[in-house]
Amino acid sequence: MPTRGAVASLEPVALGLPTPKASVLATLGRFCRRKPLGAAGGLLMLLMALTAILAEPLATHDPIETDAGHTLSPPGAGHWLGSDHLGRDVYSRIVFGARVSLTVGLVSTVLGSLLGGLIGLLSAYFGGAIDLVSQRVLDILQGLPLLVLALVMSAALGPSLPNVIVAISVPIIPRAARVIRASVLAIREMQYVEAARALGGGHSRLAFRHILPNTMGPFIVLGTAQLGSAVLVEAALSFLGLGVPEPFPSWGRMLSVSAAEYAQKAPWLVLFPGIAISLMVFGSNLLGDALRDTLDPRLRGSGAR
């Protein structure tokens, strides 16, 4: 007769069950086979994240240190991607710029998606006047393009890292609210929600325990898709002088300083930051499209596998 400790020590493999690690690896392998472009986008985002995290050991120079003796140096052994008009190393500024762009993109996307998701949840769950008023306000916000609204917010708040995050997160709120509202309108009429309501479940329990968890699929897709837009908007604001101020190494700021004056004399000042922005947005869009096709039940049976 085996003891309780012996039974508890049995591994899932011995019982013929998949381990959590094997299950995760199998899921990732299946995703890579079915969505190779999405896997490539996820790999790009992972590389960008690792670059941002490991910016200090990866950089070869101080990103804000100037060197008057090596201004506008072409790519070479001393400066892998060249130097700018102040002698700052372009490669090191791009590496640290990944940290700034990812920080602004992730924080603004999470903040805007959470606030918009909460508004959409409450609007769809309670309906009535709450839904009417909130949707009219969201119509006004969504009537302006994301870049235009972020530009107005950033101009009103002033150029700083927290203000840029707020300016980008506000335009994301109506988009997130609409997505979550549409999901909640469908979920709240399902039988399990009616059963929980009949058993005496309160509004907070129904909304946050039974309805909200079932909107995570669209929520994840929305966040992934908006991340690329947030990074692009941050680069545009920095290019216009309304984004992340100096001395923070921002990709958009690097373009604003060099695009007009040094584009012909030193094309590497425009080329490499532009490639970094393009890869970030491209990877985010590829991953977002693949996650949408995977998590949206309406697309699982389509030919977009």
Number of domains in the chain: 1
The predicted structure's pLDDT at residue 238: 85
Give me the percent of the chain exceeding a pLDDT of 90. Answer: 13
Does residue 102 form part of some domain? Answer: yes
pLDDT surpassing 70 at residue 299: no
Give me the mean pLDDT over the 198-227 stretch. Answer: 80
Those residues whose C-beta lies under 8 Å from the C-beta of residue 68, and which sit 6 or more positions away, are 86, 87
DSSP for the chain, written as a single string = ---HHHHHT--TTTTTPPPHHHHHHHHHHHHHHH-HHHHHHHHHHHHHHHHHHTHHHH-SS-TT---GGGTTPPSSSSSTT-B-TT--BHHHHHHHHHHHHHHHHHHHHHHHHHHHHHHHHHHHHH-HHHHHHHHHHHHHHHTS-HHHHHHHHHHHH-SSHHHHHHHHHHHHHHHHHHHHHHHHHHHTTSHHHHHHHHTT--HHHIIIIIIGGGGHHHHHHHHHHHHHHHHHHHHHHHHTTSSSPTTS--HHHHHHHHTTTSTTT-THHHHHHHHHHHHHHHHHHHHHHHHHHHH-TTTTTSS--
pLDDT digits (tens, 9 = 90+) for 178-210: 888 888 888 887 887 778 778 777 777 887 887
The predicted structure's pLDDT at residue 227: 87
Does residue 38 form part of some domain? Answer: no
Domain that residue 115 falls in: 53-62+72-295
Does residue 41 form part of some domain? Answer: no
Mean pLDDT taken over the chain: 81
Report residue 4's pLDDT band, with 50, 70 and 90 as the boundaries: very low
The predicted structure's pLDDT at residue 302: 46
107-111, 118-122, 177-181, 205-209: which range is least confident on average? 205-209
Does residue 15 form part of some domain? Answer: no
Which position has the higher pLDDT, 96 or 303? Answer: 96
Does residue 305 form part of some domain? Answer: no
The predicted structure's pLDDT at residue 304: 42
The predicted structure's pLDDT at residue 264: 79
44/280 Cα distance (integer angstroms): 7
Which position has the higher pLDDT, 2 or 131? Answer: 131
The predicted structure's pLDDT at residue 21: 59
Does residue 122 form part of some domain? Answer: yes
Which position has the higher pLDDT, 235 or 8? Answer: 235
Which position has the higher pLDDT, 155 or 246? Answer: 155
Report residue 305's pLDDT band, with 50, 70 and 90 as the boundaries: very low
Report residue 94's pLDDT band, with 50, 70 and 90 as the boundaries: very high
Which position has the higher pLDDT, 296 or 53? Answer: 53
Report residue 266's pLDDT band, with 50, 70 and 90 as the boundaries: confident
The predicted structure's pLDDT at residue 259: 67
CATH number at residue 221: 1.10.3720.10
Give me the mean pLDDT over the 110-126 stretch. Answer: 90
Whether the link from the prior residue into 162 is cis, omega within 30° of 0, is no
Does residue 216 form part of some domain? Answer: yes
pLDDT digits (tens, 9 = 90+) for 15-50: 444 555 567 778 778 878 888 888 898 899 999 999
Does residue 5 form part of some domain? Answer: no
23-27, 102-106, 292-296: which range is least confident on average? 292-296
